[in-house]
Amino acid sequence: MAAVVIAGAGPTGLTLACDLARQGIPVRVLDRAEEFPAGSRGKALNPRSLEILADLGLAQRLAAHGRTHLPFRKYYAGAFVNDTDPFADARPTPDAPYEAGMFLPQWRVEELLREKLAEYGVKVELGTELAGFEQDEAGVTALLTGGGRIAADYLVACDGGRSTVRKQLGVPFEGNSEPESTMVCGDVEVEGLEPDRWHQWFSPAGAFMLCPFRDEPRWQLQSSPELDADGAPVPPSLESFRRLAELHTGRTDIRLSNATWLSTWRINVRMVDRYRVGRVLLAGDCAHVHPIAGGLGMNTGIQDAWNLGWKLGHVLRGLAGPGLLDSYQEERLPVAAWTLGITHAGMAAVAEGTRTPGVGVEAGRVGDLTGLAIDYRGGPLADDRLGGPLRAGDRAPDAPCTAPDGTPVRLFEAFAGSHFTLLGFGPGALPALSGLPAHVRPLAVDAGPAGLGDPDGHARRAYGVTGDALVLVRPDNHVALTVAAGPTAGDTALAYLTSL
């Protein structure tokens, strides 16, 4: 019996599978495709997703394939306008190790996640389509199109905007579609352009963009569609891409070839009103779809999985009651609503901005798209008793510290894994760091020779702690509890943990 069945092997399903598998949870990942997708699709990981994937052990592998700084070369009505790098001045900070997002094709992200999942002995089951499911108080049974059945404790739908699971649950996918807002996309090989720029052409006739990837022969093409005699979009093809290139660039020296992943994309702004029905949960695109401005699609799905993974694991390991899963919906539904709002506003800003020479997709940055500012303040798992600048529910920041032997160490290194971390700032917090459950890692900071040193005060500043205090950090690296050190502080932390 599988503890968790995951329908869909995109970034959301794979992130969730990796998180569960490293906790020792039996998991099966089903995907109806006969082979793994090779399209670039979502092409950027934001800093918060990079932190998540680094926690899973993928930092070096991503860095080997991705590109952080990619200048934008903009043209208007065919004429060169300027080169810009929106992140040229961005630098890592003590509390945020990734100064900017990373460009790399989605197929590569999925490949690296599958490699990590295979290290836990789990492989994606291709050509395995979920036809439906049955559930009761004891469990859920996944029903396969070939007649097979898989019994599990939970089923998680990561099967995209047309989700079979969501439809069978009868969960509304509320919102609207904008069929008049259409783009064609594809992956093509390109000759005649510098491969160190994202080339973007804009004009009153629309947009045409070619984005390269590091050490990859194919670029991602995005364009306003070619229209037929009736004004309907022409289906994407290499021939159509070539005509669009000449129309928007005014050049004949740009040669496109070997087109793959041909897609027509229409704006949909939709989300569910619940993430859980009994033992079935929804994540990623099956729970929310939105405009591409800001590149939040793949990232929001990864972050859904990150929120859900430790909670499912703790419930199945007997470390928390099943009610903990309700907090997944309570924390992530507001994030989905925010994402729909900001991407819709960003898309409108891009459409308006591209009518002006020199303004490109940067216009879509109408808010913080790094993912670092997303918080769960006021949520069911946030217990704030310090009232400082960093509050329970916030992302737990990183900080450079020193080990007792003087070796540099970062807080994120201590957080990596599926455990809680109890930070004890100052010597007055030390008594609370003993007698903890096995799934809680104690970590003294600036508390004496046995813990981590904070010689430059980065950890204290990042956490807003001036005296002696405890900060309990969740497995998904959000702050759970803050409390001043004292005779009952340890009991307060234990009471929080036993209440889950």
Structure tokens at 358: 């020199």
State the pLDDT confidence band at 363, using cuts at 50, 70 and 90. Answer: low
pLDDT in tens, 40-57: 999 999 999 999 999 999
Span 135-156, average pLDDT: 96
**Where do the domains of the chain lie, and which CATH numbers do they carry?**
2-65+103-175+271-364 (3.50.50.60), 383-498 (3.40.30.120)
Span 320-342, average pLDDT: 94
- 444/366: higher pLDDT: 444
Span 221-237, average pLDDT: 91
The predicted structure's pLDDT at residue 291: 77
In this predicted structure, the answer to whether residue 354 has a pLDDT above a threshold of 70 is no
For the residues of 366-381, what is the DSSP string, one character each? -S--SSTT---TTSTT
Q: How many CB atoms lie within 10 A of CB 88?
A: 9
What burial letters (b/e) apply to 117-130, b meaning 16+ CB within 10 Å?
Answer: beebebebeeebeb
pLDDT in tens, 242-301: 999 999 999 999 999 999 999 998 888 899 999 999 999 999 999 999 877 667 889 999
Q: What is the pTM of this model?
A: 0.96
If you average pLDDT over each of 56-70, 226-240, 286-300, which comes out highest? 56-70
State the pLDDT confidence band at 358, using cuts at 50, 70 and 90. Answer: low
The predicted structure's pLDDT at residue 181: 76
User: Is the sign of the CA dihedral 367, 372, 378, 381 positive or negative?
Assistant: positive
Span 296-307, average pLDDT: 94
Contact 62, 104 (CB under 8 A): yes
The predicted structure's pLDDT at residue 179: 63
Three-state DSSP state, 185:
strand
What does the angle CA 473 – CA 274 – CA 123 come to, to the nearest 5 degrees?
65
Please tell me the least confidently modeled range out of 162-176, 194-208, 361-375: 361-375
Q: Name residue 42's amino acid.
A: G
DSSP annotation of 356: S
The predicted structure's pLDDT at residue 293: 67
Burial of 425 (0-12, 13-18, 19+ CB in 10 A): buried
Contact 497, 384 (CB under 8 A): no
Q: Where are the alpha helices (DSSP H) in 390-453?
A: 411-415
In angstroms, the CA 443 to CA 409 distance is 12
Residue in 303, 343, 308 with CA at minimum distance from that of residue 329:
308
